[in-house]
Amino acid sequence: MIDADPQQTLTLWKAQCEVNDIPLTNMEFAHIADPNALAARLRQTTDKDLVIVDNQGAANERMTVAAQNSDLVLIPSRPIVTELVEAAKLVDLLNAFSGRGPKTPIRVILNAVETFDRNTSSGRTAYAYIVSKKLPMLECVVSSRLYYKNMISGYTLDTLPGDKKAIRAARWSIIDVLEELQGLLGISLVPAAVE
């Protein structure tokens, strides 16, 4: 897990997990803000099963470095036109760099989706924007769930206190996303015990 975001959200989450005695086994963490150091670190990770780079959701040098050294770029966006416009800018920027090497698949994933989003005026406008810009979307969406928001306090979906049924539903939603990503990448992301 590489935190390349100046806000250091991933680093803060890790620290909160440590405060809550939540074990993060089989994971290594690094905060790398410098684009050159990020490129060097990503080139060294060939022995890792999966490397996730958390980056600022804006066009910057760290974003292009991460994308050039990745097998997939996943851009989360709420189904709001202003956020989708930014996602489209990132897609355009990353596609502009695709001529410099192998084309990295890019997908936008709708995040924090309320069940009623598609039935509102703003929801219809957002979906019309997606279609008009031909944004490369994941089929799965991440619903707005209180338990996802609670995880930033230093928990995982395995360790969150609360309604076990709701937590299980949140976990299965993420597994749906991982299974779609497996199909794109051709690698296993969901442990067999979970499937």
pLDDT in tens, 138-166: 998 888 777 777 777 888 888 888 888 88
DSSP 101: S
Sheet strands side by side (includes 2-3): 30-31, 2-3, 53-54
pLDDT in tens, 104-116: 889 999 988 876 5
pLDDT in tens, 23-72: 888 888 999 989 999 999 888 856 777 888 998 877 778 888 888 888 88
Residue 193 clears pLDDT 60, i.e. is over it: no
Q: pTM to 2 decimals? A: 0.84
Task: Identify residue 189 by its one-letter amino acid code.
Answer: L
For residues 104 and 68, the answer to whether their CB atoms sit within 8 Å is yes
Helix (H, G, I), strand (E, B) or coil at 51: coil
Helix (H, G, I), strand (E, B) or coil at 3: strand
Across 101-127, average pLDDT = 79
75, containing H or E segment: strand 73-77
Count the Cβ atoms, other than its own, within 10 Å of residue 47: 5
User: Which of 8-17, 88-97, 149-158, 160-169 shows the lowest per-residue confidence on average (mean pLDDT)?
Assistant: 149-158
The pLDDT score that the predictor gives to residue 146 is 74
- SS3 of the chain: helix, strand, coil, percent, to 5: 50, 10, 40
Cα 71 to chain centroid, rounded? 13
